[in-house]
Amino acid sequence: MPPEPRQTVVVDGLALATEIRQRLADAVARQVAAGCRPPCLAVVLVGNDPASASYIKGKQRACGRVGMDSVEHRLPDSASETEVIEVVDRLNRDAGVDGILVQLPLPKGVRPTAVAEAVDPTKDVDGLHPMNAGYLLLGQPGLVPCTPLGIMKILEHHAIPLEGAHAVVIGRSAIVGKPIALLLQRANATVTMCHSRTRDLAGVCREADILVAAVGVPRLVKADWIQPGAAVIDVGVSEVNGALVGDVDTESAVGIASIVTPHRRGVGPMTITMLLQNTLDAYRRRGAGGRSGALTSDDDASARS
């Protein structure tokens, strides 16, 4: 018998992001009013990929809107790994820079792992440095990748019970799959990780109370993969005939899932918001701001709530 249709909340990631950004803007304004400089994010773009250029513009615009500074460093497509690391190194030593983001993908010959390792872990707002990955694994404070942080905020905002829940994560990348699995586990969910070699993926998904799809395969997750009442988070973004499509067939998830994130205005706006959050956190942890006695944890609490 088909399940009873249920009320599904289609998550408005943009509205939640806007709410959090307002709190971040207030926290930055308080720092500035206290005589400190605003937090500053440095973005590094290597090559001429138009999508990457547009992503970093969006990130810089988002910084400006919450009163943060941003600086941009562009290198040509022909830049060597050493040249990219030299730029990162300069930013590491620049006391006026709190966060460093190197936009991916990088051109052939520039290893993303080598670049991630070159970033000062205290400025690693993408959470990709092995030290921050290790802190996450050990459950210690550190900078955590932005998309998984945004997903946790969405689940929290919609009061999705995590303790004892069965969470299924499809995808095992260092930037989404692995960190979200660790965060869910830290929140006392029981986590199953799936990937391209998982047997009976549909069957595993059907047992999920929380289903996170971070794959990049258009509409991989079908309606009959979703347990009635499950929270479904669609991270994937693919282009099909010029249109952006998620990993989940969102329309058919409506009426089955408790919540579902749409591929537009879903996880994406939260990712950028968590980049801003990480930049503020890095600024505070480094004691930046140019004045001793800068405001500390109480605005953090309000920005994080």
Select the residue interacting with ligand NAD from 225, 268, 281, 288 (CB under 6 A).
268
Q: Is 222 a binder of ligand NAD (CB under 6 A)?
A: no
Residue 272 CB, nearest approach to ligand NAD (Å): 8
Which residues in the 31-60 window bind ligand NAD by CB under 6 A? Answer: none
What are the Cα distances from residue 303, in Å, to 18, 29, 34, 77, 202? Answer: 12, 12, 17, 38, 38
Select the residue interacting with ligand NAD from 142, 236, 262, 289 (CB under 6 A).
236
Residue 180 CB, nearest approach to ligand NAD (Å): 9
Residue 234 CB, nearest approach to ligand NAD (Å): 8
Residues designated as active site: 59, 103, 126
Select the residue interacting with ligand NAD from 87, 184, 267, 276 (CB under 6 A).
267
With beta carbons less than 8 A apart as the criterion, state whether 182 and 189 touch. no
Q: Which residue has the tokens 């930055």?
A: 28
Separation of alpha carbons 77 and 45, rounded Å: 9
Supply the DSSP string of 16-30, one letter for each residue. Answer: HHHHHHHHHHHHHHH
Separation of alpha carbons 138 and 197, rounded Å: 27
Separation of alpha carbons 240 and 281, rounded Å: 37
Residue with Cβ nearer ligand NAD (131 or 174): 174
Residue 202 CB, nearest approach to ligand NAD (Å): 10
Select the residue interacting with ligand NAD from 41, 84, 87, 214 (CB under 6 A).
214
Residue with Cβ nearer ligand NAD (113 or 302): 113
Q: Is 216 a binder of ligand NAD (CB under 6 A)?
A: yes
Q: Is 112 a binder of ligand NAD (CB under 6 A)?
A: no
Separation of alpha carbons 28 and 179, rounded Å: 27
Neighbours of 47 (CB within 10 A): 18
Contacts (Cβ under 8 Å, ≥6 apart) of 121 = 129, 131, 132, 142, 143
Q: Is 170 a binder of ligand NAD (CB under 6 A)?
A: yes
Binding region for ligand NAD (CB under 6 A): 147, 170-173, 175-177, 194-196, 198, 201, 214-217, 235-238, 267-268, 271
